[in-house]
Structure 1
Amino acid sequence: MKVYICGSLNYDLVTFTDRIPDAGETFKANKFETHAGGKGLNQTIAVSRLLRAGQGVKVSMIGHVGDDSFAGELVGILSRNEVDTRLVTALKGVNTGVATIIVEQKTGQNRILISEGANGHTNFNDDQLEAIFPAASQSEGPYYVIFQNEIPGTIPIMRWLKQNRPESIIVYNPSPFKDVERDDWSLVDLLMVNEIEALQVLESGFGATVAADYKSKIDVDFLAGYKEVATNLQSRLISGNPSSLVVITLGEKGCVFTSKESNEAQFVEARRVEKVVDTTGAGDTFLGGVISQLCTNHSLRDSIAFATKASSISIQRSGAAESIPVYSEV
């Protein structure tokens, strides 16, 4: 089995504070840290770390870095986590992507500003995609390709894969959210969103009125409302593949999902922790946990249960990539 993650690589500059300063205000922070990050890198490391050793899964990162000191650090952490980095390209005269993150220590909530840098060059022509994704031999089975929205080439690459590599299983985490054409949602085999993004996808696919109707249902019954959202997204929007899956994470409440194994949406409860330190990268850890188990033939429900444990560990630590646990910890 192969897993490709096509996405962003960022160097994270993290400031911890009691509160966010108001406009024009200077406020003393508590501490400052630097970490490897970017949703693409985080998800890549999460998949690799959360695989059980010896299962024969090859994890590859596809993306770009600059020619600064940050680039070597990011490629280095991927290599140390047993990720194939041959598809990570260093660009001359370009800065590596940077994320400026402010973490409120009392709640663990974060605010993030992204400077895309080299990530803005992650777009490929047909010849390049032919080289990145070689045609599979008859003996090779399907493989996963994971996307987010921190690179410009996400939708064009997904279109090419669906047309030229039907054996690929496309996983889409549309974060940060960007509107796409209605037909492009049918490219997705596994859609993974949080509760806010789920409503944004609804509005993108069906319009503001439908999204507002579901928001009203959620206000009345949170869990039942999101179960209905998941079912609607799976059956009416990403229905290009009859075995398509939808997972909606609901923060401290847990998550709902639909799968080919069930006729209706199901719920997995979150795991409680004593203290939330930093939620940065928790969603990426969750995604990596799900894919690491699915690609080794676990059911979706068991994969989500595993990922829930993994993300509950990550939020008790500081940083994004550094907070991701390994398989044995989970």
Structure 2
Amino acid sequence: MKVYVCGSLNYDLVTFTDRIPDAGETYRANKFETHAGGKGLNQTIAVSKLLSADQGVKVSMIGHVGDDSFAGELIEILNRNGVDTRLVTALKGVNTGVATIIVEQRTGQNRILISEGANGHTKFDENHLEVMFPPESQGEGPFYVIFQNEIPGTISAMRWLKQNRPESVIVYNPSPFKDVERGDWSLVDLLVVNEIEALQVLESGFGAAVMAEYKSKINVDFVAGYKEVAINLQSKLISGKSSSFVVITLGEKGCVFASEESQKAQFVEALRVENVIDTTGAGDTFLGGVVSQLCTNHSLRDSVAFATKASSLSIQRSGAAESIPVHSEI
């Protein structure tokens, strides 16, 4: 089994504070840290760390870094976590992507500013895709390809994969959200979104009126409303494959998921965490947990339960990639 993650690599600059300063205000922060980050890098490391060592899954990162000191540190942390980095390209005269993160320590909530740098050059044309996914890979069985929205060209790459490598299983985490043509949602086999993104996908696929209708249902019964959203997205919008899934994370409440086989959406309650330190990498840890288990033939429910435990551990630690637990901890 192979898992590829096409995405961003960022160097995170993290400031911890009691509160966010007002406009024009200077406020004393509590501490400052640096971490490896970027949704692509985080999800790659999450998949790799949350696999058990004997499962024989090859995890590869596809992306770009610059020619600064940050680049070497990011490559090193990927290699240290068992990730194949041969498809990560270093660009001359370009800075590595940087994320400036402010964490409110009392709540664990974060605010993030992205300077894309080399990530903006991670574009996919047919020649690049042929190199990354060579013809000889066909016939070896399914392989997973994970995308997010911190790099350009994700939809064109998905189109190419569906047409030329139909055995690929496309995992899409549309964050930060960008509108997608209705027909392109059918390229997705596994859609993983949070509660806000789920409504944005609804509006993109079905229009504002449908989104408003479901929002009203959510206001009446939060979990039941999102169960209906998951069923709608899975059955009417994304890939028609029998193995297509939709997972919606609901923060401290848990998550809901829907599949072709389940006939109805299911809910997995979050684990109670007393000491929330930093939620920065929770979503990426969750996605990595789901994919790490699905690609080793676990059921969707077991994969989601595993991912829930993984993300509950990650929010009790600082950083993004560094906060991700390993398989044995789960």
Normalised by the length of structure 1, the TM-score is: 0.99
Q: Which residue of 1 aligns with 2:29?
A: 29
Q: Which residue of 2 aligns with 1:286?
A: 286
Residue 151 of structure 1 aligns to a residue in which SS? coil
Counterparts of 2:105 and 2:39 in 1: how far apart (Å)? 22
Call closer, same or farther: CA 1:43–1:137 in 2, change over 3 Å. closer
Question: Which residue type is aligned with residue 6 of structure 2?
Answer: C
Deviation at 1:265, TM superposition (A): 0.3
Q: Report the number of matched residues.
A: 330
Q: Which residue of 1 aligns with 2:174?
A: 174
Q: Which residue of 1 aligns with 2:80?
A: 80
Deviation at 1:136, TM superposition (A): 4.1
Question: Which residue type is aligned with residue 200 of structure 2?
Answer: Q
Question: Which residue type is aligned with residue 20 of structure 1?
Answer: I
Counterparts of 2:134 and 2:118 in 1: how far apart (Å)? 24
Deviation at 1:260, TM superposition (A): 3.0
Counterparts of 1:92 and 1:137 in 2: how far apart (Å)? 31
Counterparts of 1:77 and 1:261 in 2: how far apart (Å)? 38
Q: Are residues 1:43 and 2:33 paired?
A: no
Q: Is the 8 A contact 2:242 2:261 kept in 1?
A: no
Residue 42 of structure 2 aligns to a residue in which SS? helix
Question: Which residue type is aligned with residue 253 of structure 1?
Answer: K
Question: Which residue type is aligned with residue 92 of structure 2?
Answer: K
Deviations 1:141-180 (A, max 9, x none): 1000000000001111011101110000000000000001
Q: Which residue of 2 aligns with 1:59?
A: 59
Q: Is the 8 A contact 1:190 1:245 kept in 2?
A: yes
Q: Is the 8 A contact 2:278 2:319 kept in 1?
A: yes
Q: Is the 8 A contact 1:187 1:240 kept in 2?
A: no
Q: Which residue of 1 aligns with 2:196?
A: 196
Call closer, same or farther: CA 1:107–1:295 in 2, change over 3 Å. same
Q: Which residue of 1 aligns with 2:141?
A: 141
Counterparts of 1:148 and 1:299 in 2: how far apart (Å)? 23
Deviation at 1:250, TM superposition (A): 0.3
Q: Which residue of 2 aligns with 1:314?
A: 314
Counterparts of 2:298 and 2:240 in 1: how far apart (Å)? 23
Identity of aligned residues (%): 85
Call closer, same or farther: CA 1:25–1:123 in 2, change over 3 Å. same
Structure 1 portions without partners, runs of 5+: none
Counterparts of 1:139 and 1:122 in 2: how far apart (Å)? 27
Q: Which residue of 2 aligns with 1:213?
A: 213
Counterparts of 2:138 and 2:33 in 1: how far apart (Å)? 48
Structure 2 portions without partners, runs of 5+: none
Deviation at 1:242, TM superposition (A): 3.7
Q: Is the 8 A contact 2:234 2:260 kept in 1?
A: no
Q: Is the 8 A contact 1:186 1:241 kept in 2?
A: no
Deviation at 1:249, TM superposition (A): 0.3
* RMSD between superposed Cα atoms in Å: 0.9
Deviation at 1:137, TM superposition (A): 5.2
Q: Which residue of 2 aligns with 1:112?
A: 112
Q: Is the 8 A contact 2:15 2:101 kept in 1?
A: yes
Q: Is the 8 A contact 2:15 2:102 kept in 1?
A: yes
Q: Is the 8 A contact 2:257 2:267 kept in 1?
A: yes
Q: Which residue of 2 aligns with 1:260?
A: 260
Q: Which residue of 2 aligns with 1:8?
A: 8
Question: Which residue type is aligned with residue 213 of structure 2?
Answer: D
Deviations 1:36-95 (A, max 9, x none): 000000000000000011111000000000000000000000000000000000000000
Deviation at 1:25, TM superposition (A): 0.7
Residue 241 of structure 1 aligns to a residue in which SS? coil
Deviations 1:211-238 (A, max 9, x none): 0111010000001100000000011111
Question: Which residue type is aligned with residue 121 of structure 1?
Answer: H
